[in-house]
Amino acid sequence: MNRIKYTSPLLLDGESTVVVENNVRIYDGDQKTSFEGGELIITTHRILWGRPGQIARGQTCLSMALNLIIFIEEESPSTFSFTRSRKIVLHLSEINDTSNGPQPYSMFNFIKLSFREGFTKNITSILHDLLQDRPWEPKIQQPPVENKPQQPLIKPRMGIVGIERSIQEKQKATDASINMAFQDLDKLMDMAKDMVRLSRMISTKIKEKQGDITEDETIRFKSYLLSLGIDDPVTRDSYKSDNQYYQSLAKQICDFLLSHIEEMGGMMAMSDVFCWVNRSRSLELLSPEDILNACKLMQALDLPLKLFEFSSGVKVLQLSSLDSSTVAEATAQLVDEKGSLSSEELSKSLGISLTLAKERLLTAEKFGKCCRDDAIEGLRFYPNLFLTREE
């Protein structure tokens, strides 16, 4: 009730009458007030209430700005009421300036409008529409009310609707800024294309003119390109450039995995390496590409592990001391001991993965240490009696 002011019934700029009802009583919260039997005008901006004839004569009336309304509900008529009376509850937001009203203090956050003779039109839905359209909004400034010009600007940012609106606006702003950011990225990508083309061109020139420029210069230039983040196709596989990150990563992986790999018979498939490393890092995860690149550097760094690729394309990390012939020898020895082995049996007895076991057996076969028996039961490997057994 303290939100209601005395004011002139004259319409403001851009304000228009929406609906007029008669015989309306105002409640402060649940309490009846003396403002009863009056005329209620809902405009696009305000709710006006005056005693019959008051508004028509332009005398001071009660008014309340629509933007104070947070929520509207219609009170369901009690079971025993046989009147046509209907009540609407208007939940209101807080207001600081309570002067110039009929009732400066109120313990309620809502008022009720009681329509003794019902509505001619559906007031609730009209109010809902008004709240949604917010016709008072286009004017950023609250329409100046002549008899209280000192009223501070009431920002329409109050209550739940206000909060929702502000969230919406923030989202809009974020959206816009993200779009901006990606616009920048697009430009960057375009630029990067040029850069890559340029670097390719230069690297092919370097290749053509090998000899014209010194080896040192070539390497230095390639490292410039790499430090720009542009993969030089020439150095892609060799990673000659001293990329600190991969080097230290290679050392770290080596330190961590060396004992495990020794336990597992000297070899670990790259997929396992990836799992082990990332599990140990828990949060600072590495991409498979980074791990692979780091592993590629191991041999050049003289680390005790190295990357090895089987002819089938399976990549493993293995002890540097291990080469294919010793692998073949060791595997053949196992086959000799057991008489014959399938990859499943070898993987079980060594605790290595199935692919790795198969690769080991195939390596042994490639060195002529084993021979295969490809039957319905599956692929098995036998000691190569063809070559070792005397006729």
Partner 1 sequence: MPEVDIEWPWQYNFPPFFTLQPHPETRSKQVAAWKSLILEYCEKNKIYVIDVRESSQGPLFYNSTINRKLEQSVILSILSELQKTDNSAPVDKLNNRWEIYWHTLEEWASMIYDYVLGQGIQNSVLTLHELVQGEDTAEEMFFGMNQEVLLKVLRLLEKDRKCEVILEDDVQGVKFF
Which positions touch partner 1 (CB under 8 A)? 340, 365-366, 368, 371-375, 380, 382, 384-387, 389
Nearer to partner 1, 283 or 387 (CB): 387
Closest CB to partner 1 among residues 338, 372 = 372
Minimum distance from residue 334 beta carbon to partner 1 (Å): 16
Q: How far is the CB of 323 from partner 1 (least distance, A)?
A: 18
Q: Which residue has the tokens 């228009």?
A: 16
**Shortest distance (Å) from residue 388 CB to partner 1:** 10
- The b-or-e profile of 96-117 (16+ CB within 10 A means b, else e) is eebeebeeeebeeebbbbbbbe
**DSSP annotation string for 177-242:** HHHHHHHHHHHHHHHHHHHHHHHHHHHHHHHHTBTTB-HHHHHHHHHHHHHTT---TTTTTT--S-
- DSSP class of residue 13 equals T
Map residue 183 onto helix, strand or coil. Answer: helix
- The encoded tokens of residue 27 equal 């409640």
Q: Which CB atom, from 5 or from 380, has the smaller least distance to partner 1?
A: 380
Would you say 140 or 385 has its CB closer to partner 1?
385
CB of 318 to partner 1, least distance (A): 22
In the complex, least distance from residue 255 CB atom to partner 1, rounded to whole angstroms = 38
Rg (CA), the chain: 42
Q: Choose between 93 and 384: whose C-beta lies nearer to partner 1.
A: 384
Q: Which tokens is 356 given?
A: 């790795």
Which of 48, 44, 251, 21 has the alpha carbon at shortest distance from 119? 21
